[in-house]
């Protein structure tokens, strides 16, 4: 909870797989916080590109939802929803005060959360002649790529799981190997 000029801002962060889940969570908050005036939120799901939305719930444009979403971006999170509810204290904060308060409440909710870090991986299939196996394996070992399936014959086929952060460098390195075909 963050307090500024008698207004109270309560921040909540929840894991999220759909916007509908967030809307159900907001309804629960409304039932337990009858005296709250605003239920502002932001959420983000997925990557490359992420799906996101934010809402000011009656506060002046971009003074609540945008600063909350900014914290999601700052922490580099996805599959998350943040709701900050405001209990008005009788003193107007102005746009700058609102932005600061909503940002601080969202940041506090994230700092108190147990954030689970998961490496997102992209499946790829590599096809190449057996003569190139040693080069391919050297790249896979160097970049610590997980092999999920392999067929080693005259024409080798490897199915690998490439972390999103390594996708670009992996593709560049693999493209240097003669006769290697990459498909997603």
Mean pLDDT score, 117-145:
91
Q: What is the pLDDT of residue 52?
A: 95
Report the half-sphere exposure of 69 (CA within 13 A, side-chain side).
18
The encoded tokens of residue 154 equal 């005259």
Q: What is the pLDDT of residues 33-54, one digit of tens each?
A: 999 999 999 999 987 788 999 9
Other beta carbons within 10 angstroms of residue 72's beta carbon come to 22
The encoded tokens of residue 17 equal 């797989």
Neighbour-count burial for 108-124, b at 16+ CB within 10 Å, e otherwise: bbbeebeeeeeeebbeb
List of domains in the chain: 2-111 (3.30.230.30), 121-183 (3.30.70.260)
Q: What is the pLDDT of residues 69-115, one digit of tens each?
A: 999 999 999 999 999 999 988 888 889 999 999 999 999 999 998 88
pTM metric for this prediction: 0.72
């Amino acid at each position: 909870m963050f307090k500024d000029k008698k207004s109270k801002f309560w921040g909540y962060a929840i894991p999220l797989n759909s916007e509908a889940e967030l809307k159900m969570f907001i309804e629960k908050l409304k039932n337990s916080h009858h005296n709250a005036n605003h239920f502002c939120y932001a959420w983000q799901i997925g990557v490359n590109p992420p799906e996101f939305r934010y809402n000011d719930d009656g506060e002046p444009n971009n003074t609540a939802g945008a600063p909350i979403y900014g914290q999601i971006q700052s922490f580099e999170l996805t599959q998350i929803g943040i709701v900050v509810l405001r209990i008005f204290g009788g003193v107007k904060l102005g746009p700058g005060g609102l932005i600061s308060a909503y940002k601080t409440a969202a940041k506090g909710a994230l700092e108190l959360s147990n954030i689970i870090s998961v490496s997102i991986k992209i499946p790829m299939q590599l096809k190449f002649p057996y003569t190139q196996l040693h080069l391919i394996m050297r790249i896979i070992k160097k970049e610590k790529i997980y092999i999920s399936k392999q067929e080693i014959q005259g024409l080798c086929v490897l199915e690998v799981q490439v972390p999103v952060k390594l996708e670009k460098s992996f593709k560049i390195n693999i493209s240097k190997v003669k006769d290697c075909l990459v498909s997603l």
